Amino acid sequence: MSPKKTMRNIKGVALVLTGLLLAAPAAYAEDEVKTLPFADNAGNTVSVQRGARDFMAYCSGCHSLKYLRYNRIGQDLGISDDLLKQNLIFSGVKVGEPIVSAIPAKSAEDWFGRVPPDLSLETKARSPEWVYSYLMGFYLDSSRPFGVNNLYLANVAMPAVLGELQGWQVKVEEGKGEHQEGLPLKLAQPGSMTPEEYQAFVTDLTNFMVYAAEPNAKDRVSTGWNVMFYLIFLLLPLTYFLKKEFWRDVH
Ligand code: HEC
């Protein structure tokens, strides 16, 4: 191949690649539903405590948090071993064990068609906004095995385990009918919670999952401040005296 031709080929490939790169996000953005705004607050210990309790009650049957041990939660959130055993550990394991779901992968696959993923790093893999929105986004869809679908995970394999609390939503066409929270959904049948209560419930759950993805976050921040403190208050005077020492003979 002549150098000229090779050059032309390279240019052609570059052009196609650029086109693909430009087109891909646009195509992706088109069928993606915007996530709801959510300001995570894993520093709110009370919210994270409630989220931990609710996660154990409603989610840990199917999902594990395999990088997190029960007593680590206890230490971080100020929950004693006894309270952990009474309120958070349903599987009868010891407080030093990681949170592993009781459901065998094979049965899960048979029941749901998909193994419920470990959620340790979920808020990092997706985002806190996405997780919050996903938990808000279930709606009735009779074409699905569990009768529900999700705005953020098309053809979702997870049953709407919080449906009794949230109530049952139906999809309304974009731009038609009343919309809820900016989502194309309408509450068709109320649940045991009001929409505000449910939002608070899902906020706690998401805060807990943000904490679970990085239990060290608090330590990291305080280590950061310690380092800053050290640098400013110890090294600065030292540098100053060193400078004085160096310049003494010059002046
Ligand atoms: C009955 C079993 C079951 C229970 C209980 C359950 N889930 Fe799930 N969950 C699943 C399955 C199965 C999937 C996989 C869905 C898919 O990929 O279509 C899933 C997926 C998810 C995902 C999306 C993962 C991803 O990024 O693709 C999140 C987030 C999630 N679940 C959160 C929760 C939370 C929070 C709770 C508790 C309120 C919960 N789940 C309770 C079975 C369950």
pLDDT at 223: 84
Q: Determine the Cα–Cα distance for residues 7 and 19; give it in Å rounded to an integer.
A: 18
Give the dihedral of Cα atoms 206, 154, 105, 112; nearest 10 deg: 110
User: Does the domain at residues 45-213 carry the CATH identifier 3.10.129.10?
Assistant: no
More confident: 110 or 182: 110
Decide: 224 and 206 in contact? Cβ < 8 Å: no
Dump pLDDT digits (tens) for 223-249.
Answer: 888 888 888 888 888 899 989 998 988
The least confident of 76-85, 110-119, 169-178, 209-218 is: 169-178
Decide: 218 and 224 in contact? Cβ < 8 Å: no
pLDDT at 29: 46
What's the gap in Å between 61 CA and the centre of ligand 1?
10
Look at residues 135, 150, 152, 124 and name the one whose alpha carbon lies nearest to residue 55.
Answer: 135
Which residue has tokens 């998909």?
A: 114
Ligand 1 lining (C-beta closer than 6 Å): 58-59, 61-63, 112, 114, 116-117, 119, 122, 126, 131, 134-135, 153, 156-159, 161-162, 205
Percent residues over pLDDT 70 in the chain? 86
pLDDT at 235: 87
Could you tell me the residue ranges of all domains in the chain?
A: 45-213
Dmax over CA atoms of the chain, in Å, equals 88
Q: Determine the Cα–Cα distance for residues 220 and 173; give it in Å rounded to an integer.
A: 46
Confidence of residue 176 (pLDDT cuts 50, 70, 90): low
